[in-house]
Structure 1
């Protein structure tokens, strides 16, 4: 009985009477030790505000964080460095409880990477070119092997379908190891351009030099593996081989990173590279092939005595919705050159793209929402009259259902009858297809989502998000958005419009400050950027830009979803865009530690580094899981 009463006392939190020595007396109850209070959530840093007033088209606005983009002001950049350190510590603190999850995710992602991973081989002449990753290496190796010996080393045994690299090493030639290139360029390798010479003797390529913020041109001898003594050029934005590989053309940019000169370098020569074209006098020594008004898209091809021009230029002063194909004899003496239509215009069948080989013309087509690809034998009839496509007896390739986009691949071999292309579908992975020749809704559809109509693309995105919820494909409080670069503007604008629609979002190197960037570009912008978002000098387009700019349309006193914004110290990605948006969202919206706004700073370029890709993907996934569980 005594033991029973004692036990009760020990497990009771109130005062009880206990029997002892035939007397009753009051006993103080036992109390559980106090559970320690959970640590308070980390507080986000506050960026210094240094308001600056701007006025344009009689519209005046104040930007408290414009100092973040003052790259030439040393004081501002010191403040920026200090602020970035605070952001980095805050993100680490918020994500500290996901470290084990991130490690596990990264490990699982890395374990699923095939260490014999190879790109599909590209046939060019007698060689098959491809890139593959060796076990334990972060970057790929550019290789080639003779096509005539390839079949001997094809394995059909599970799990190593494809080329048997272990046995096939004796026929493989390594051309460039990007792991070694990483040692030359600050610990990582980021290649922008890569071209094999037509005689298969040289490789011209550009690597990003992070310390100097430009792409450096190198030419490598594929027989010896050594770098050629010239050309060695910086600020290179484009290149092309001529004279069957004896010479290389390359384009260099000015201080604003805009192309402005073309040089020619004779391989093996000790002469200085020849300066061909200057942007100040671009037509010097050149013959005009075609001219149009306004900004249009065009591709010029040369094939068996004809120039072919694929363009979306206006016809007879009327804007058209799609591309069309023209041709003109090379030896035409008319001035200006006369161009003739190849096909009769069709309202039903639209030509999306064209590609040429020696024996065939390949057309990527669209009929309504149905995409197709067909080949037409060359040469085309000599008659000057345009014809219907069906009159040329096109051969259409049978495709899977639900194909939403077809893109031409790297078809280097002009003499091959095999053409490569990629098909995309929402119900299947992208597929690379080799086609033996033997996206979107057209130009108007695209134009309805740009410039003064850019808001339409944001509405479409929101409609798709709501559709997923309405059809119960995703739970109402479990929807996340993800946007990269300009896609980051889309997602951020959708959040501004409907902050309660999303539970979380990931914005990678996003474009968020459209007004200031288009008005006062710090990094050089191309004409295509203004064609997409609008020219702020036009008052209507200026107002449209202001309306879609995520930085200028943050809802005050609203609860925003949890957002992870990733950017880079590398100014090529404009880290201030992300920093300004993060600071203003925190300033103007409701603070909730369960809805953190994080700025993740990437110090390296991750596109070509599989380890960094896994690390970034693991962090993003862990962030989304954490946000859904809060």
Structure 2
């Protein structure tokens, strides 16, 4: 099972739709279950199932009124609730007593097929390699990093001589320690500062899905003490590595406000930056891939409005790109003085793209507020654009081609004349090779703007999950990790080769793989 990256998870700017979903637990037919239980007949439990008490309570909402006699169960601190749940658990234990042998057998068989260790392949960002793993005997992951001492260049040549001093693993966040302290842990979002000195993350220790903000100084390993903030949802760092923007939610769990915190100013209160008063809109905050701008995104189900913050001058205020228009959505990325805008705004009075057909436009930074957008890529026949990711030398598009999701890359910059419209096929795209069988493809965090490698997780019902790196500059791909399935007739390496070489079909000639990548 692949761990999701928490450094900067790629949030889809639009909802992905995949043809398949993967179940981690195999179905057991009723006939098989009955045959396994034969010889161990069920006996009736000694007592009748417990019945919860009813307490009269009237609910009124949206002009309607009804009775909810079980409303008292919403108070998790109620002693009667704890007592009732204990009686339910005792009844279930008694009812299932005759299946204990079968439960142990199924549990042992399923755990025997699980890998002994679960980890993610390292992901490079700047001079560091970030990765996660679950320690043996533990339930939760650990976020770690190591200096990447094998990269070329004079800086890394110097690091090569200091390799012995820097090659030790650095633990950034251990979920298990938090769980031991509080009994429960759920980390929502993690963000590493651009200078790699701080880790900001959101933490829930109650199970109520209300996350509090935590900031850790990675140089000292200590948390930065300040008044706790509750209900934090998303995070974004400015370029100085000391200014953090975050969103908070209201009582209805709607993210509605953006605040700014400056590290090192302990006496300064967090400053409100933006508040969304329309209850149909939710606010999200992120940064462009190159880190030049922070975007405050206010989105409803059908419309969007984006404000920009200069990441180099985070206290200079907001700049709205375009006033919200019903039915029009747009999302932005930045690339060397140009904004790339993915939108469904009408191209002209006679052509409306509000039905979900998105196109890509560009605008110079100084012209972005004038809505002076130059149309670059419009959907071709049987193609729709779903998402985009901008890097130093290439643009990655998530598209739907003839009803199937796929990805393609286009070299940047795109040299087109003003107002010229092109289809994707006119820009020499490289379509990512994917398995012939139906599958889902989920992008990784892909945080490094300077990278030419795009990482995805490929899931299918006919093979274990694989993590694939696509080298968009050389048009090659590498399977860097595959989920291990133990106790099968063939060993992990031969099993992987047998399946992958048959499933990846015509693309197998380009497959670059090493046996130790499958262990």
Normalised-by-shorter TM-score class: 0.5 to 0.7
Secondary structure at the aligned position of 1:243 is classed as coil
Report whether the alignment pairs 1:276 with 2:311: no
Q: 1:312 to 1:95 in 2, by over 3 A?
A: farther
Q: CA deviation at 1:312?
A: 4.3
**2:255 aligned residue (256, 259, 265):** 259
Report whether the alignment pairs 1:189 with 2:217: no
Q: Between Structure 1 and Structure 2, which shows a larger proportion of helix residues?
A: 1
Secondary structure at the aligned position of 2:387 is classed as strand
Instruction: Report if aligned partners of 1:264, 1:275 keep a CA contact under 8 Å in 2.
Output: yes
Q: CA deviation at 1:192?
A: 0.5
Distance across 2 between alignment mates of 1:173 and 1:321: 45
Instruction: Report if aligned partners of 2:321, 2:368 keep a CA contact under 8 Å in 1.
Output: no
More displaced stretch, 295-304 vs 379-388 = 295-304
**2:331 aligned residue (296, 299, 317):** 299
Normalised by the size of structure 2, how large is the TM-score?
0.64
Q: 1:350 to 1:200 in 2, by over 3 A?
A: same
Distance across 1 between alignment mates of 2:328 and 2:133: 38
Q: CA deviation at 1:350?
A: 2.0
Distance across 2 between alignment mates of 1:277 and 1:294: 21
Instruction: Report if aligned partners of 2:184, 2:206 keep a CA contact under 8 Å in 1.
Output: no
Instruction: Report if aligned partners of 2:183, 2:205 keep a CA contact under 8 Å in 1.
Output: no
Instruction: Report if aligned partners of 1:216, 1:236 keep a CA contact under 8 Å in 2.
Output: yes
Instruction: Report if aligned partners of 1:218, 1:231 keep a CA contact under 8 Å in 2.
Output: no
Which blocks of at least 5 consecutive residues in structure 2 are unaligned? 1-40, 153-163, 279-297, 299-306, 308-315, 474-519
Q: 1:136 to 1:56 in 2, by over 3 A?
A: closer
Q: For residues 323-334 of structure 1, what are the structure 2 equivalents within 5 Å?
A: 323-332=358-367
Q: Which residue of 2 aligns with 1:422?
A: 457
Structure 1 or 2, whichever has the larger Rg, is: 1
Distance across 2 between alignment mates of 1:142 and 1:365: 32
Distance across 1 between alignment mates of 2:463 and 2:186: 29
Q: Which residue of 1 aligns with 2:398?
A: 364
Q: 1:54 to 1:225 in 2, by over 3 A?
A: closer
Report whether the alignment pairs 1:338 with 2:340: no
Instruction: Report if aligned partners of 1:215, 1:234 keep a CA contact under 8 Å in 2.
Output: yes
Q: Which residue of 2 aligns with 1:494?
A: none
Q: For residues 126-525 of structure 1, what are the structure 2 equivalents within 5 Å?
A: 126-149=127-150, 171-184=168-181, 186-210=182-206, 214-230=210-226, 232-272=228-268, 273-280=270-277, 286-294=318-326, 298-312=330-344, 316=349, 319-332=354-367, 335=370, 337-384=371-418, 385-438=420-473
Q: 1:177 to 1:231 in 2, by over 3 A?
A: same
More displaced stretch, 309-318 vs 271-280 = 309-318
Which blocks of at least 5 consecutive residues in structure 1 are unaligned? 1-36, 152-166, 439-630
Q: Kindly provide the CA deviation profile for residues 205-249 of structure 1, in whole angstroms up to 9, marking residues without a partner as x.
A: 111121876312111122221212347432211111112422111
Q: How many residues align?
A: 381
Q: CA deviation at 1:202?
A: 1.2
Q: CA deviation at 1:311?
A: 3.3
Q: Between Structure 1 and Structure 2, which shows a larger proportion of strand residues?
A: 2
Quote the RMSD (CA, aligned, Å).
Answer: 3.6
